[in-house]
Amino acid sequence: MSMSLREQLLAAGLGTKKQAKEAERQRHRDLKNKSARKAEHEKRMAEQRAAKAARDQELNRKRQENLERKERWAQIKQLIEEHRIAKPESDEYFNFIDREKVRRFPVDAALRERIVRGEVVIVRCEGRYDVVPPEIADRIREREPRAVISLQPKEPETPPDENDPY
């Protein structure tokens, strides 16, 4: 029968039994370490896949939110375009506060009176201001509350103290 290379080297006197046992132990350690390294590599790969999946999920969520926001604003724009009340050609303006700045809107006497009585509401879309009926403003407010301009002053959060001299 043929002998293994190790047995042939031992028979030829090129190695000792001690060296053969040490080589066998080293081969066993290498195999054991290889399986441990492989398991560690698989674990790292699984963690990386999980992290990538989480990143992808977050990106998809943000992308979906962005699409929904754009869709809401497109609906708002369409509502305004379909139901806006024409701006009169006038040198008279209605001043109002939006985002802590005074804005103005061209009006005539009749439109000013309708705004004050609440028969029409000022709305904002893409930096432009228009007036629409209150029913349409309610539909716009459902989609984006910031698009409807409130002409009522905001109430202070805490009422003044009764004993406050000022």
Tokens of 129: 């201001």
47: left (phi over 0), alpha (psi -120 to 50) or beta: alpha
Q: Which of 158, 164, 134 is nearest to 148 (CA)?
A: 134
**pLDDT band at residue 155 using 50, 70 and 90 as cut-offs:** low
Q: Is 98 helix (H, G, I), strand (E, B) or coil?
A: strand
Q: State residue 148 phi and psi, 5-degree precision.
A: -100, 125
Residue pair 95/102 in contact by the 8 Å Cβ criterion:
yes
pLDDT at 166 (0 to 100): 67
Q: State residue 9 phi and psi, 5-degree precision.
A: -65, -40
Over range 120-130, report the average pLDDT: 92
- Statement: residue 147 has pLDDT above 80: yes
User: Could you tell me what percentage of the chain is helix, strand and coil, using 3-state DSSP and rounding each to the nearest 5?
Assistant: 60, 15, 25
